[in-house]
Amino acid sequence: MNSFSSRVAAAAAAIRQIFPETPLQENDYLSKKTGARVLLKREDLSPVRSYKIRGAFNFFRKTLAAGNEAELFVCASAGNHAQGFAFVCRHFGRRGVVFMPVTTPQQKIDKTKLFGGDFIEIRLVGDFFDDCYRAALE
């Protein structure tokens, strides 16, 4: 299972553990404007309303399948990735720390806490993503 398409198929099948496939929906306006059939992937129907959960889930799945029994995971995010990361931390029963800018909207912070529950800790650091990224690396 080394081909790219095989790895994508495996990741797609695995993510069905946490939510069903999100549908494609034709967009009449964009289709008419471009002269082509335009389909939009309805990622707003995923548990965290963003595609970012896919990358977080696949990272955890591969890390844990490789025998890495890490109890703590860390990320830097200004919002959507933090929510997917928090959801996946709770799903796998692993603690996570999210470094977010102090300018992060309260709604993003609240949703991240909601999705992660007791498995997530939020640390507000600096004004920009780069500040959070540096803090997460320490």
How many structural domains compose the chain? 1
Per-residue model confidence as pLDDT tens digits over 102-119: 999 999 999 999 999 999
The Cα–Cα gap between 79 and 81 comes to 6
The model's pTM is: 0.90
Q: Which domain holds residue 118?
A: 4-137
For residue 106, what is the domain's CATH number?
3.40.50.1100
Per-residue model confidence as pLDDT tens digits over 3-36: 999 989 999 999 999 999 999 999 999 999 999 9
Element (H, E) at 135: helix 129-137
Name the nearest CA neighbour of 90 among 77, 66, 73. Answer: 73
Single-letter code of the amino acid located at 14: A
Phi (first) and psi of residue 72, to 5 degrees? -130, 130
